[in-house]
Structure formats: C-alpha cells, structure tokens
Amino acid sequence: MSHLRQRAIPTDRGQHRSARASGDAAPPQPDLADPIDRAHLGRYTLGSLTLEREVLGLFLAQLPLSIEQLRFASTDREWHVAAHTIKGSARAVGAWHVARLALDAEQTSGVADEEQRERVLASLEDACDEVEAYVAEVFPPETVRA
C-alpha cells in the first residue's frame, strides 16, 4: 500500500499529520477523561442536546448486539466485521476508548484464542459500561410533563 498518495491533515492544534489518500487514517483521538468526546459529537449534532441524546441512545442500544456478534463469531471474518462495526460507531460518537479497544480486537483473532477473546470482550464490556454510566449522568432521562 506504499503506492498511495500521502496528504496532510490539519489537527486541532494547527499541526499537520500525513494520512493515506485512501481514507484509512483514523480520526484524531484525544486522550480524554470522559468516555464521550462531547465536542466531537457536538460537531455532528450541531450542538443539539436532544440529538446528542438520541444518537448516544442508538449507539448504546446497538453496542451490546455488536459485542454479542464478537462473542459468537465462528470465523475470523465474522470477528473482524463485528470489531470493525464497533470501531466505526464508537468513532462516530467520540467514544475513543471503545474505538481503540475495537481496533485492537479488529487486528487480532478472537476465534482461535479463547483467552484473547475473553480479554477483548471483558475490556469492551467494561468500556461500554463506562460510556453508559456517563451518558446516564450527563443526559438524565427527561421527566414526563403531566
């Protein structure tokens, strides 16, 4: 893949990093204390808290299903697709830690090594619990008006 053109991508600090023109490069992933990068998510939701809540709700609803796909993957291809799905959706909402774990999973085989599979699944489940707790704290359920 060395034949692909390199292009510079501006970062938040005005610096540039190179990326493959094919779009393989990962988005900038700040090391944040919060499980969700609200600034990243806000760029896609135009700052709408209602839309943020909805997008995160969809993410959290789909996440356990994708983790189960990892758990029951019987081929490397199934494992790769499930990990890739988690990585993409986590990047979309700014769940960088989940995305990094999913990338690690994507680059390994959880099919052949049962111990590796269990480590990956436990790490992802822990990270997802952190995201879920954060979302519950930041976006408490709306009260119903009578």
For the chain, domain boundaries: 39-135
Please state, in angstroms and rounded to a whole number, the distance separating the CA atoms of residues 22 and 3: 11
Per the CB < 8 A criterion, the answer to whether 21 and 5 are in contact is: yes
Question: For position 139, what pLDDT does the model report?
Answer: 85
Q: Which long-range contacts (CB under 8 A, 24 or more apart) does 28-31 make?
A: 29/91, 29/96, 29/99, 29/100, 30/96, 31/96
Please state, in angstroms and rounded to a whole number, the distance separating the CA atoms of residues 94 and 82: 18
Scanning 46-75, the segments in alpha helix (DSSP H) are 49-71
Report whether pLDDT(25) > 70.
no
Question: For position 3, what pLDDT does the model report?
Answer: 40
| CATH architecture entry for 39-135 | Up-down Bundle (1.20)
Per the CB < 8 A criterion, the answer to whether 131 and 139 are in contact is: no
pLDDT top residue among 112 and 46:
46
User: Residue 129: pLDDT band by 50, 70, 90 thresholds?
Assistant: very high
Q: What is the mean pLDDT of the chain?
A: 81
Question: For position 77, what pLDDT does the model report?
Answer: 94
Question: For position 136, what pLDDT does the model report?
Answer: 92
Tens of pLDDT along 51-97?
Answer: 999 999 999 999 999 999 999 999 999 999 999 999 999 999 999 99
Q: Cβ of 108: how many Cβ atoms within 10 Å? A: 18
Per the CB < 8 A criterion, the answer to whether 93 and 42 are in contact is: no
